[in-house]
């Protein structure tokens, strides 16, 4: 019902815009008081007893996407994204998380194989952190890679509102890069910001059909008599591309020099499958979800698709001076969700950005060199059928929906194979907690290039994958779609180790909301 009200409000707003030549509010004349200044507070790092301690406050902050778009974000320490946390392989890491919001929250470290009680999933591994309360997460940073941290309490609202940041574990043998930059992709609805609609009060449960229209797969489902599909609704609402917390024209350039070796770490923290096109240079894809690709080769004119929660790292030799714009756009809505990330050589500061077209999409099933995996014989085989119900309004795994979901039981030492099949018309970036998996095959064809070690796998319409993982991290682990609306509407399963007992006590007074 709230969704319907919102929907009507959006339509009224759009109607209003057509009669108005200027669709932005000039915020420069508005008084936002002390909070208006864009505070970038240092994450307090306290190295004590050989541990790296970070204090993270979860709080509301006014955030400027550019000079005209300002909104009340939910942030980690006042910035969007939350400040990068970068540690060294082997470090003991402590995150003291203080909740200064008016709603409960929790922090999940995405991709990093944490002990189960540190996984940050309310109701599954801990009770949500209530307003005013704190929770301490501790990890040993023994697996290098690019990861991210985000809220796992009501993710469709909380991550959308800004609760995400990057967590990097640098390997001890990290190659030397002259430039090492993050490019965090997200999208925002200027419409809702202009209308003063707070995401926290918004019911996302009717908004799950976000992806549609991929490669002629229809545009999703119609909403009752409104005649507008969810995907069209998503496209109308999310109209602003956000890169590293900024929208055009405030996206900060990456400043480089000829001869530099550059590493770029892409993270998709949003809800849409995005396309990345690198202009003017060949490049190597060195890591998938933070995990090394074996012997990557130089490629060019290939665009990379990056689904929600995925990370891609690339390496570029800066040998083509100019002012370049890395093009990033949402596959289903390129006209609205589109941005250029400036890569500017010194001497080209005032030059118009040049972007480029691409001739094909990067294919990770045939890239890099094979490497022998030391994985034992498969001991368990499971199927994961991704489906939908209610005329495509809700989503299922093997016909089941959270909290009456599919449970996959494993024992420590098992080698578990999943066959994942997407029987819906939209993308599902499937994320397994607690463990990496290897991709063995796609659509029945064995992977030809480098081993593919990931924590999130985008399964597109009609695709099937076989993946395998070694069960060596006991716990109760979620395995869910990372399009939060889909998870919120049922697309969640669990991998449970036989006999595992969580050490926390479920508090019935805490409104835990793991999705």
Contact residues toward Cu ion (CB under 5 A) are: 428, 481, 483, 486
CB of 395 to Cu ion, least distance (A): 6
Q: Which is nearer to Cu ion, 470 or 515 (CB)?
A: 515
CB of 305 to Cu ion, least distance (A): 15
Cα 58 to Cα 171: distance, rounded to the nearest angstrom: 28
Cα 155 to Cα 245: distance, rounded to the nearest angstrom: 18
CA angle 379, 410, 293 (to 5 degrees): 70
CB of 270 to Cu ion, least distance (A): 13
Q: Which is nearer to Cu ion, 110 or 246 (CB)?
A: 110
Q: Which is nearer to Cu ion, 343 or 481 (CB)?
A: 481
DSSP symbols for 405-429: --EEEE-TT-EEEEEEEE-SSS-EE
CB of 81 to Cu ion, least distance (A): 22
Q: Which is nearer to Cu ion, 62 or 460 (CB)?
A: 460
Q: Which is nearer to Cu ion, 263 or 486 (CB)?
A: 486
Q: Which is nearer to Cu ion, 396 or 512 (CB)?
A: 396
Q: Which is nearer to Cu ion, 230 or 486 (CB)?
A: 486
Cα 271 to Cα 240: distance, rounded to the nearest angstrom: 13
CB of 486 to Cu ion, least distance (A): 3
Q: Which is nearer to Cu ion, 388 or 450 (CB)?
A: 388
Could you give the C-alpha distances from 80 to 69, 123, 159, in angstroms and in order?
Answer: 14, 27, 11
Cα 443 to Cα 29: distance, rounded to the nearest angstrom: 56
CA angle 125, 130, 135 (to 5 degrees): 55
CA angle 378, 438, 386 (to 5 degrees): 85
Rounded to the nearest 10°, the torsion over CA 509, 82, 278, 215 is 20
CB of 453 to Cu ion, least distance (A): 22
CB of 165 to Cu ion, least distance (A): 23
Three-class secondary structure assignment of 110-142: ECCCCCHHHCCCECCCECCECCCCEEEEEEECC
Q: Which residues contact 273 (CB under 8 A, 6 or more apart)?
A: 211, 214, 305, 306, 307, 308, 330, 331, 332, 427, 429, 458
CB of 108 to Cu ion, least distance (A): 17
Say if CB 512 and CB 153 are below 8 A apart.
yes
């Amino acid at each position: 019902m709230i969704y319907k009200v919102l929907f009507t409000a959006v339509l009224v707003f759009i109607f209003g815009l057509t009669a108005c030549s200027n669709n932005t509010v000039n915020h420069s004349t508005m008084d936002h008081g002390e909070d208006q200044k864009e505070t970038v507070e240092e994450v307090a790092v306290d190295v004590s007893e050989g541990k790296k301690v970070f204090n993270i406050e979860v709080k509301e902050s006014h955030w400027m996407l550019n000079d005209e778009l300002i909104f009340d974000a939910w942030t980690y320490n006042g910035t969007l994204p939350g400040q990068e946390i970068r540690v060294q392989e082997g470090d003991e890491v402590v995150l003291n998380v203080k909740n200064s919001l008016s709603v409960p929250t929790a922090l999940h470290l995405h991709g990093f194989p944490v002990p189960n009680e540190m996984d940050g999933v309310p109701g599954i591994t801990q009770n949500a952190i209530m307003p005013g309360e704190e929770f301490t997460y501790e990890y040993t940073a023994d697996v290098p890679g690019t990861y991210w941290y985000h809220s796992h309490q009501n993710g469709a609202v909380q991550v959308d509102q800004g609760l995400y940041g990057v967590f990097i574990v640098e390997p001890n043998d990290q190659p030397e890069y002259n430039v090492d930059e993050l490019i965090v992709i997200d999208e925002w609805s200027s419409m809702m910001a202009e209308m003063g609609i707070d995401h926290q009060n918004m019911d996302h449960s009717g908004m799950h059909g976000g992806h549609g229209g991929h490669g002629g797969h229809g545009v999703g489902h119609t909403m009752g008599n409104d005649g507008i599909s969810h995907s069209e609704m998503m496209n109308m609402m999310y109209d602003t591309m956000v890169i590293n917390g900024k929208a055009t024209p405030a996206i900060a350039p990456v400043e480089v020099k000829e001869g530099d070796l550059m590493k770029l770490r892409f993270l998709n923290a949003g809800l849409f499958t995005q396309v990345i096109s690198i202009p003017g240079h060949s490049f190597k894809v060195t890591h998938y979800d933070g995990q090394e690709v074996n012997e990557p080769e130089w490629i060019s004119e290939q665009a990379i698709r990056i689904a929600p929660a995925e990370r891609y790292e690339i390496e570029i030799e800066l040998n083509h001076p100019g002012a370049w714009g890395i093009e990033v756009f949402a596959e289903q809505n390129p006209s609205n969700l589109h941005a250029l990330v400036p890569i500017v050589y010194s001497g080209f500061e005032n030059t118009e950005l040049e972007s480029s077209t691409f001739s094909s999409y990067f294919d990770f099933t045939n890239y890099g060199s094979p490497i022998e995996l030391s994985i034992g014989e498969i001991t368990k085989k499971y199927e994961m059928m991704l489906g939908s119900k209610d005329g495509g309004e809700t989503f299922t795994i093997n016909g089941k929906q959270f909290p009456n979901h599919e449970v996959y039981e494993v024992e420590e030492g098992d080698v578990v194979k999943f066959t994942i099949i997407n029987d819906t018309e939209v993308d599902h970036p499937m994320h397994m907690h607690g463990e990496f998996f290897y991709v063995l095959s796609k659509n029945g064809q064995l992977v030809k290039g480098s081993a593919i070690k990931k924590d999130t796998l985008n399964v597109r319409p009609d695709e099937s994958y076989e993946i395998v993982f070694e069960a060596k991290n006991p716990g109760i682990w979620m395995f869910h779609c990372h399009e939060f609306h889909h998870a919120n509407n049922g697309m969640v399963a669990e991998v449970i180790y036989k006999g595992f007992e969580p050490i926390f006590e479920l508090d019935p007074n805490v409104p835990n909301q793991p999705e």
